Amino acid sequence: MAQIPSDRLVTIYGGSGFVGRHLVRALAKRGWRIRVAVRRPDLAGHLQPLGVVGQVQPVQANLRFPDSVARAAEGSSAIVNLVGILYQSGAQSFDAVQAEGAEAVAMAAKKEGARLVQMSAIGADKDSESNYGRTKALGEQAALSAKRDAVIIRPSIVFGPEDDFFNRFAALARISPFLPLIGGGTTKFQPVFVGDVAEAIAKAVEGEARGGETYELGGPEVMNFRELIELTLEQIGRKRLLVPLPWALARIQAFFMELMPKPMLTRDQVTMLETDNVVSPEAAREQRTLQGLGINPTAMRAILPGYLWRYRKAGQFTKAAT
């Protein structure tokens, strides 16, 4: 592990989450001092062993309170905003977190004169009918308004050991005799490995990405929803009936699921699923991709067996998928 330099401090908002823990590891290896800004720093102790003693420091910050955001940014030479939500809950609304919260982070970066990297998502569009997609776009706009050289990172579905896609459907397949194909399962995705996303953000933090640009990150394969579910079943060695679920019926089902504390599906997510989630031809042509950052995308089949084995009938003792 490299020695900790005193002049390179990065603050990562939302750094205790899925992408965050991989980013912390990537930046720790590069020798950065890392300040992880989260609502509950007492629950972020698992990040400290990713660096040497004193290299990773959790601090308190809540994007709904700009003063706490500004305090967490003090002295930083780079700032990364990873905060995002998949569904609204109480005061945690899309506008409060992904739009107004992103603006608070951007203003803090401007005040500190720090390099800014804003995590967004493919599908972000200020005219989107989805509140998720709309507020992600507003977050991008806030970042670029405050820092013209901010780097925007838009990944497709992110996969890895703690992901919320393959794990969710693999878990459902253990208890359900059928799996739903929302909208018929025709929506296209380009799943990207979390390690590749973290590496891309780390490169942006170090100034290796073009400022003021939006990078779209996708893996080496484009697959539709049905194909991804079939791949999941293949990896866990189970056969399930795949039932097409029309959009209208999916919205009705999502309406009732939204009443759950942690809904598996919301109407807003159904709206997002109506649009393909892949790297745009423009981004590919202009090399605003993983390849443009010198990263070779990791294939799903190289990673999925390493964590989906626990959903097989006999776990690690089940014969692996080929």
CB 116, CB 106: distance < 8 Å? yes
Per the domain annotation, does 185 fall within a domain? no
The predicted structure's pLDDT at residue 96: 96
Residue 82: closest CA among 12, 166, 176: 12
Global pTM value: 0.94
**For the chain, how big is the Rg over CA atoms in Å?**
20
User: How many domains does the chain fold into?
Assistant: 1
Beta-ladder partners of 243: 180
Per-residue pLDDT tens over the stretch 226-248: 999 999 999 999 999 999 999 99
Band of the pLDDT at 3, cuts 50, 70, 90? low
- Using DSSP, state whether 70 is helix, strand or coil: helix
Mean pLDDT of 57-64: 96
Structural domain boundaries enclosing 119: 9-162+191-220+277-298
If you average pLDDT over residues 16-23, what whole number do you get?
96
In this prediction, residues 103-108 reach a mean pLDDT of 98
1 has a pLDDT exceeding 50: no
Which residue type occupies 23? L
Residue 251 belongs to a domain: no
Q: Is residue 80 part of a domain?
A: yes
Buried b (16+ CB within 10 A) or exposed e, 40-50: ebeebeebbeb
Band (70; pLDDT cuts 50, 70, 90): very high
Q: What integer is the mean pLDDT of 5-27?
A: 92
Q: Considering only residues 261 and 104, tell me which one the structure prediction assigns the higher pLDDT.
A: 104
Per-residue pLDDT band for 318 (boundaries 50, 70, 90) equals: confident
CA distance 146 to 149: 9
Q: 294: closest CA among 191, 200, 162?
A: 200
Positive or negative torsion for Cα 25, 136, 98, 162: negative
pLDDT of 132-178, one tens digit each? 999 999 999 999 999 999 999 999 999 999 999 999 999 999 999 99
Please state, in angstroms and rounded to a whole number, the distance separating the CA atoms of residues 284 and 105.
29
Residue 239 lies in a domain: no
Q: What is the CATH number of the domain that holds 287?
A: 3.40.50.720
256 lies in some domain: no
**Is 3 among the domain residues?**
no
Q: What is the SS3 assignment for 227? A: helix
List pLDDT tens digits, range 279-303: 999 999 999 999 999 999 999 999 9
Residue 305 maps to a domain: no
Residue 182 lies in a domain: no
